Amino acid sequence: MELVLMTFFPLVGVLALVLLAPHQKNVMRWVALITSLITFGLSLWVLSQFDPTKSTNMAVQLPWFRLAGVPIEFYLGVDGLSILMVLLTTFLTPISILSTWKAVEEQVKGFMIFFLLLEVGMLGVFLALDLVLFYIFWEFTLIPMYFLIGIWGGKRRIYAAVKFFLFTMAGSILMLLAILYLGLQAGTFSQPQLIANRAIYAGAEMLLFLAFGIAFAIKVPIFPLHTWLPDAHVEAPTAGSMILAGVLLKMGAYGFLRFNLPLFPQASVQAAPVMAILAIIGIIYGGAVAFAQKDVKKLVAYSSVAHLGFVVLGIFALNVEGVSGAVLQMVNHGISTGALFLLVGMIYERRHTRELDAFGGLWKIMPIYAGISMVVTLSSMGLPALNGFVGEFTILVGAFGSKVYGSPWFAGVATTGVIIAAVYLLKMYEKIFLGPVTHSENKSLKDLSVREIITLAPLVVVIFWIGIFPKPFFDLINPAVEQLVQLVQSAAMVLH
Amino acid sequence: MTQMSDLLTILPVFIVVIWAVLLLLIDLWIPKGRKGITALLAVLGLATALGVDLAIQGQTSFAFNQMVVLDGFSSFLQVVILASGITAIALAYDYLKRMDIEHGEYYVLLLFSIAGMMLMTQAYNLLMVFLSLELLSIPLYVLAGFARSRTESEEAALKYFMLGAFASGFVLYGSAMIFGSTGAIDFPGIVAALNNGSANLILFVIGAALLLVGFGFKVAAVPFQMWTPDVYQGAPSSITAFMSVAVKAAGFAVLLRVFLVLFPSLADKMTPVLWMIAVLTMLVGNVVALAQNNIKRLLAYSSIAHAGYILMAFVGYGNGEVATNSISSALFYLVAYGLTSFGAWALVIAIEKEYGKGLMLEDLSGLGKRYPWLGAAMLIFMLSFAGVPLTMGFWGKFYLFRTAVQAGNVSLALIGLLTSLVSAFYYLRIIVYMFMKPGDRELHIDKWVSLVLVVTALAVVALAVFPGLIFEWAAQAVMLLQ
């Protein structure tokens, strides 16, 4: 019941918000913040009872209803693959809400309601073990995000919001078809039971893999399905971008881990080289395009394409190093890119521009901002002793040793992505912070306020924590990853 | 001789007809300007019939020498139709006053039309089918032209009448063919003639095809949909709302029963035709809706599209294993569509300034911000139409597509899913205008219209959280199909 309480707790906040009068803006902010903090507390409570060696923890399995004889269940559970995603969600939500304190003045009530609803949806996605329930949460996250972009976004917000909605829905459609097929063939929608009954639908594995895979690939996004991402990111409000990059993209990668790998192991092995090639194209292409951007937010958005390329590369290495590195890197990307979007948002609030050329020399004017930005930029680059390094290094180790890739070239080419990342991120840092102050408007910029420092501090702490002492994180992930990898590898044996 | 049990079998229809006749007289004594009383009385009559219908759920009987039947299927659909009737009156009351077309006949004609629809769900004889079709249609022709002095309304009535008359002709001609082929006009007789091989199959197929065309007009399936946008746009919105739900429910009731009872042997010939009609209906409805800027026309095309989804259920009707699931998925979808549709039309009625004015998409600008509850309700309806989860519409599509996959029609399910993606675009346009464009329009929302909005919105969500109830009810209704 812990999971149910945690997942739906934000609804309490929604209810409270609905009852508030429109002018009580500050009360609304506090209600949303406190609700999300309590949800974070509840997730820590879940963590305290979490046993990484068990395949599902705190499972809640309630019959919902039967459709033509097949039960559809309300089935939640948490394991090593999802626990960090849950924590990431509950951790980033209060930070995002705190970041909107000054940025969102219009329709605060609606904003906070959608934000808390989004949290419910995201938690549900990471916890659902019934395919239909998963699909419901998956689609449900679209609606609040659509409004967050469409109402509180930038100039081309409507275009971006509709594009975001339709792209994701296009992917989901194939997934729904596959879910229907699985349910009909196996007579169940429960993920563990489907794994046990894999033989029933083995003939259609590849098609099913593709149907699920396209839905997840759009969300990740994997090249060439990434085109919605820059639009959505650039137009979304800061808090929306943070959650979009921090959590929503992870839903795609998580989907591969939770469904594609264990449900369709043979197809996963067969598809792995192709997925790796797409991932590597994403790494190089995302990096190159990021380098060419003049708008900081677009730069960060394209860097996401590159970073998530690493995650996909790790997942489809199909060995323990690769997959656990990928899971950790999902967290890292959520933290680092979330922090980057936050930093971009803070400077945008002051200058109302995000053009790289509009800045320069901020180091002298905003020392605290510059210092934190450096840590975050270096973490995104993958500097040792910061979080990004641990994740990318583990992924590359996995990719080098991967039997399914069968060649060290995959990892070799991907490594150049690390260098490209260094190039565009350092260019960004240099253009904004170093050199002389070229624009007189910048001279009067205020450094970070206490609230802004509080917003950023937890992220910086986690950046160092994972960078210096990642063991507790790996301890949470590894047992589940070992099980998953074993399952896939034994299926691969059948194949050969 | 008419017996008591015969009357019991058609008791709900009987109540509505008698009530309509009485109301016609009573209305003479109700002063102009107090027509609310007529509306209230009409609702009372429908509610009584609804109560009886709910009480006799699960009973099965025949009456009048097997002219009519009472079974789970008919009582399910009668509940849908009666509930539609009550909702339509709630929507009409204030609307008629505002449009200055408040006359007592409105409610009486509505009752007659409802009686026709109810009888249609019970018809067990081709003559009864035709009779009930006429009883359904003729009052509706009048109602479509109820805003007499307005050309749009007159145009709608004329178009509806012309094409409706054609459709009736097709049905009658088809019935004649089937009579010629089998020598029987009652369902059991026709089935018997088919089973013992005495039927002329060519004539029978022609007859079946003509029936399909006739009812294709009524449910607005492509290529028999041309009248829909014009009639839906020109007719008073309160009547359009009623037509978009109840007429479709009645049309599908006959189609389902006729196909399942009379035409199982034609499944191999009919299936490709039905496949084609379903696909075309989904495609044309959804694609043309993309280009609409008038919300009434947009909803008209959307209603065509939804008829296409329901037609998906027909494609597998010949496959015994799937048939029961097909039919109950169609019934479930009808309920989902009906609730959603009434909600959306309630909004149309709320925003209609003068007759046919203020109905462009731009007129929706800013409404979501100014009236958050109205906006939330419309959001629910649009998501339900598009088939996004936690709405009835999602489960409706889920069940329909599941059945299509079960019947081996993955291509059909895929087309259905792709067209829902297309539909999401124009439903989202409405949301974009309501929430993301600036505007400050003031609305006058009548209390009954708000009630419809609230009830339908809550039902669409609540029944999505507990869909088991309707699923089971629909499954039960089909089990008892005679």
Q: At A134, which helix (H) or strand (E)? A: helix A131-140
**Which residues in A lie closer than 8 A to residue B406 (C-beta atoms)?**
68, 184
The distance of Cα B275 from the centroid of its chain, to the nearest Å, equals: 21
User: Which of B398, B414, B479 has the most A C-beta neighbours within 10 Å, making it the best mutation to test the interface with A?
Assistant: B398
Q: What are the backbone dihedrals phi and psi of residue B125, each rounded to the nearest 5 degrees, phi first? A: -160, 135
Model confidence at A311: pLDDT above 90:
yes
Closest residue of chain A to B468, computed from CA coordinates: A65
Residue B389 CB partners (closer than 8 Å, separation 6+): A135, A136, A139, A140, B464
Q: Are A396 and A414 in contact (CB under 8 A)?
A: yes
pLDDT band for position A8 (cuts 50, 70, 90): very high
pLDDT tens per residue, range B98-109: 888 888 889 999
Q: At B70, which helix (H) or strand (E)? A: strand B68-70
Closest residue of chain A to B411, computed from CA coordinates: A177
**Which residues in A lie closer than 8 A to residue B379 (C-beta atoms)?**
143
Q: Are B81 and B117 in contact (CB under 8 A)?
A: yes
Taking residue B284's Cβ as centre, other Cβ atoms within 10 Å add up to 19
The 8 Å CB, 24+ separation contacts for A463-466 are: A463/A335, A463/A336, A463/A339, A463/A375, A463/A376, A463/A379, A463/A386, A463/A387, A464/A375, A464/A385, A464/A386, A464/A387, A465/A387, A466/A328, A466/A331, A466/A332, A466/A335, A466/A387, A466/A390, A466/A391
pLDDT band for position B346 (cuts 50, 70, 90): very high
Dihedral of the alpha carbons of A457, A354, A240, A33, in degrees to the nearest 10: 40
Question: First and final CA of chain A: distance in angstroms?
Answer: 43
Of A139, A166, A180, the CB nearest to B402: A180
Q: What average pLDDT does chain B have? A: 90
* Radius of gyration of the CA atoms of chain A, in A: 22
What pLDDT was estimated at residue B1? Answer: 53
Of B417, B468, B471, the CB nearest to A173: B417
**Which residues in A lie closer than 8 A to residue B387 (C-beta atoms)?**
none
What pLDDT was estimated at residue A153? Answer: 83
pLDDT band for position A496 (cuts 50, 70, 90): low
CA distance A125 to chain B (A): 13
Complex ipTM: 0.91
Taking residue A361's Cβ as centre, other Cβ atoms within 10 Å add up to 18
CA neighbor of B312 nearest in space, from B335, B334, B342: B334
Overall residue count recorded for chain B in this entry: 482
**Which residues in B lie closer than 8 A to residue A161 (C-beta atoms)?**
432, 436
What pLDDT was estimated at residue B122? Answer: 92
8 Å CB contact of B435 and A151: yes
Interface membership of A150 toward B (CB under 8 Å):
yes
Residue B327 lies in a domain: yes
The distance of Cα B476 from the centroid of its chain, to the nearest Å, equals: 20
Q: What is the mean pLDDT of residues A342-369?
A: 86
pLDDT tens per residue, range A387-408: 888 989 999 999 988 888 878 8
8 Å CB contact of B401 and A180: yes
What pLDDT was estimated at residue A494? Answer: 63
Q: Are A63 and A113 in contact (CB under 8 A)?
A: no
Q: What's the CA angle centered on B32, arms B27 and B35, to 5 degrees?
A: 55
Closest residue of chain A to B412, computed from CA coordinates: A177
- Grouping H, G, I as helix, E, B as strand and the rest as coil, residue B294 is strand
**Which residues in A lie closer than 8 A to residue B367 (C-beta atoms)?**
none
8 Å CB contact of A180 and B325: no
The Cα A105–Cα B393 span in angstroms is: 35
CA distance B128 to chain A (A): 33
Share of chain A above pLDDT 90, in %: 43
Q: What is the mean pLDDT of residues A81-97?
A: 93
DSSP string, B420-435: HHHHHHHHHHHHIIII
Interface of B with A (CB under 8 A): 325, 369, 372, 379, 383, 388-390, 394, 398-399, 401-403, 405-406, 410, 413-414, 417-418, 420-421, 424-425, 428, 432, 435-436, 466-468, 471, 475
Of B424, B432, B475, the CB nearest to A166: B424
Least confident of A486-495, B70-79, B135-144, B422-431: A486-495
Residue B300 lies in a domain: yes
What pLDDT was estimated at residue A462? Answer: 92
CA distance A216 to chain B (A): 17
**Which residues in A lie closer than 8 A to residue B378 (C-beta atoms)?**
none
CA distance A75 to chain B (A): 15
8 Å CB contact of B401 and A176: yes
8 Å CB contact of B467 and A150: no
Which amino acid is present at B461? V
CA neighbor of B149 nearest in space, from B187, B204, B99, B111: B99
Q: Are B15 and B45 in contact (CB under 8 A)?
A: yes
Of B389, B432, B468, the CB nearest to A139: B389
DSSP-assigned beta bridge partners for residue B125:
B186
Share of chain A above pLDDT 70, in %: 99
Closest residue of chain A to B436, computed from CA coordinates: A151
Q: What is the mean pLDDT of residues A244-253?
A: 92
Question: First and final CA of chain B: distance in angstroms?
Answer: 23
**Which residues in B lie closer than 8 A to residue A169 (C-beta atoms)?**
388, 421, 424
Residue B148 lies in a domain: no
**Which residues in B lie closer than 8 A to residue A147 (C-beta atoms)?**
435
pLDDT tens per residue, range B233-277: 999 999 999 999 999 999 999 998 888 888 888 888 888 899 999
Of A56 and A261, which is predicted with more confidence? A261
> Which DSSP state fits B466?
S
DSSP-assigned beta bridge partners for residue A70:
A67
Residue B464 lies in a domain: yes
Q: Are B477 and B72 in contact (CB under 8 A)?
A: yes
Domain range for B470 is 267-482
8 Å CB contact of A64 and B406: no
Closest residue of chain A to B423, computed from CA coordinates: A166
Residue B320 lies in a domain: yes
Q: What is the mean pLDDT of residues A69-91?
A: 91
The Cα B274–Cα B37 span in angstroms is: 45
Exposed e or buried b per residue across A8-40, where buried means at least 16 C-beta atoms within 10 angstroms of its C-beta: ebbeebbebbeeeeeeebeebbebbbebbebbb
Structural domains in chain B (count):
1
What pLDDT was estimated at residue A63? Answer: 85
The Cα A346–Cα B444 span in angstroms is: 43
Residue B405 lies in a domain: yes
Closest residue of chain B to A168, computed from CA coordinates: B421
**Which residues in B lie closer than 8 A to residue A165 (C-beta atoms)?**
424, 428
**Cα distances (Å, whole numbers) of residue A116 to A11, A15, A190, A244, B21:** 7, 10, 27, 14, 55
What does pTM read for this prediction? 0.93
Q: Are B132 and B124 in contact (CB under 8 A)?
A: no
Q: At A392, which helix (H) or strand (E)? A: helix A387-401
The distance of Cα A86 from the centroid of its chain, to the nearest Å, equals: 11
Residue B276 lies in a domain: yes
Model confidence at B2: pLDDT above 80:
no
What pLDDT was estimated at residue A70? Answer: 86
**Which residues in B lie closer than 8 A to residue A162 (C-beta atoms)?**
425, 428, 432
8 Å CB contact of B390 and A66: no
> Which DSSP state fits A259?
I
8 Å CB contact of A136 and B425: no
What pLDDT was estimated at residue A51? Answer: 86
Q: Are B404 and A157 in contact (CB under 8 A)?
A: no
Q: What would the two tokens of residue A82 be?
A: 């999802």
Q: Are B478 and B317 in contact (CB under 8 A)?
A: no
**Touching B: A residues 83-142, CB under 8 Å:** 107, 110, 132, 135-136, 139-140, 142
Residue entry with tokens 């998501």: B383
Model confidence at B22: pLDDT above 80:
yes
The Cα A44–Cα A91 span in angstroms is: 10
Residue B312 lies in a domain: yes
What pLDDT was estimated at residue B243? Answer: 93
